[in-house]
Amino acid sequence: MTFFIMEASSMSLYVNNQKLTQFVQKIFSSFGVTREDAVICADNLVLADLRGIPSHGVARLRRYVDGMSNGTILPHSKPIIVREAPSTATVDGQAGLGQIVGHFSTQLAIEKARKTGVGIVAVRNSNHYGIAGYYTQMMLDAGLLGISMTNTAPLVVPTFGRKMIIGTNPISMTAPTRRNKPFFLDMATSVIPRGKLEVYDRMGKDMPEGWAVDSKGQTATDATEVLRNMVARLGGGILPLGGEGELYGGYKGYGIALLVDILCGVLSGGAYADLVDIKGPGGAGQPALVAHFFMALNIENFVEMEIFMEKMDDLIDRLKESAKAEGQNRIYIHGEKEYELYEQHRQTGVPLEENVHETLKAIAGERGVVFDL
């Protein structure tokens, strides 16, 4: 969770989440994706919107449609285990849909954790897998402590740099509780994910200073210009968590991003840094080679579950009941805002910006799918 969640704009349309899920399923099915896999992909995208993370919701559907159309994402491909031990495995995603690779690998980590106490799966040759929290939610539902992370296409400049060479490299972790909402961290290791730039670009709003830099490595606020430079590889990009330079700890976010690249890309024998999502001859697209990392821990191998949850509740209570800053009446725990928005959007429908709605309509026309949103 990041505490910054985009509010629905006055131009947002509210769409029933079940109808939206069914529509997205049909789009994936139009490429010959099995019904089971289409359900996973649709559930992943719509869950992001339900939780108030539109940067990774159905606004990303165009990315998958284009990838399946141009052959950089192979919709019929299935992940395979290429190396395995009782508690670990390496998986080759075979350029398939990242959501399917992620789901398979998470289930594998869960099975190993139940048998040995820990399940660790490193993945290479995959694609964008949606929100990292989708997979830690699976581990949470299995009664395990879960960690999920992925590298991404290079979108972030290293501290003191002006060229995108590392990804936004998100990390998610979940831990069960008894009384409170479960702890649910889902965050990029950059100041923001690319999707936030896209949201600001669509809304025509200036970004806050400290989110990104221009082609000279200087602070920029024009999301459209930054995105244009990023697409054309003219320089500039998103900043590591902590922002520009060292004053506010930008080097720490840079280091955490490298941690993700090492566990995902290096450990799996896959791609990392600017080897992810490179262009082929003549600028043609090719498989993105995204890498992931999943770890499930059986809490009972460390401490009784009741004691763990009691201590998690105590930890959360201590934070929430601590002294508030002047003018503030609540301290949030990671996941709370998303859980609350999830319940709200189940009642009101998922808010979609008008241009996202129009994009979905265009995709429906291209794929011969009835558009009834």
- Which domains are present in the chain? 1-70+349-373 (1.10.1530.10), 78-191+239-334 (3.30.1370.60)
Residue 12 has a pLDDT of: 76
pLDDT computed for residue 283 by the predictor: 60
CA distance 231 to 197: 12
Q: Which residue has the higher pLDDT, 281 or 47?
A: 47
Mean pLDDT in the chain? 93
pLDDT above 90 as % of the chain = 81
Listed range (7-16, 20-29, 153-162, 217-226) with the worst mean pLDDT: 7-16
Question: Residue 156: which of 222, 236, 41 has the closest Cα?
Answer: 236
Cβ pair 225, 214 in contact under 8 A: yes
Burial 82-118 (b: 16+ CB within 10 A, else e): eeeeebbbbbbbbbbbbbbbbbbbbbbbbebbeeebb
Banded pLDDT at 286 (limits 50, 70, 90): confident
Q: In this model, does residue 196 exceed pLDDT 90?
A: no
Return the closest-CA partner of residue 1 out of 254, 200, 148, 183: 183
Q: What is the mean pLDDT of residues 195-215?
A: 87
- Whether 168 shows a pLDDT value over 80: the answer reads yes
Residue 278 has what pLDDT?
85
Strands 118-126 and 290-297: antiparallel
- Reply yes or no on whether the pLDDT at 11 is more than 70: no
145-154 pLDDT per residue, tens: 999 999 999 9
Is the C-alpha dihedral spanning 272, 133, 128, 95 positive or negative?
positive
**pLDDT tens digits, residue range 71-91?**
999 999 999 999 999 999 999
373 vs 32, higher pLDDT: 32
The answer, yes or no, to whether residue 280 has pLDDT greater than 80, is no
Q: pLDDT tens digits, residue range 325-368?
A: 999 999 999 999 999 999 999 999 999 988 899 999 999 999 99
Q: What is the mean pLDDT of residues 168-175?
A: 97
pLDDT of residue 232: 84
Task: Give dist(CA 142, CA 113) in Å, integer.
Answer: 10
pTM (2 d.p.): 0.92
Helix (H, G, I), strand (E, B) or coil at 174: strand
* Percent of the chain's residues with pLDDT above 70: 96
Question: Which residue's entry shows tokens 């105590």?
Answer: 314
Q: What is the pLDDT of residue 6?
A: 47
pLDDT digits over 237-252, tens only? 999 999 988 888 999 9
Q: How high is the pLDDT of residue 5?
A: 46
User: Which residues have a Cβ under 8 Å from the Cβ of 104 and sit 6 or more positions away?
Assistant: 78, 79, 91
Q: Reply yes or no on whether the pLDDT at 181 is more than 70.
A: yes
Instruction: Quickly state the pLDDT bin for 1 (edges 50, 70, 90).
Output: very low
What 3-state class would DSSP assign to 157?
Answer: coil
pLDDT of residue 190: 95
**Lowest model confidence (mean pLDDT) among 36-45, 50-59, 130-139, 308-317:** 50-59
Q: Is 60 exposed, middle or buried (0-12, 13-18, 19+ CB in 10 A)?
A: buried
Task: Please report the pLDDT score of residue 197 as a whole number.
Answer: 85
Q: Indicate if the pLDDT at residue 2 is higher than 50.
A: no
360's tokens: 């979905």
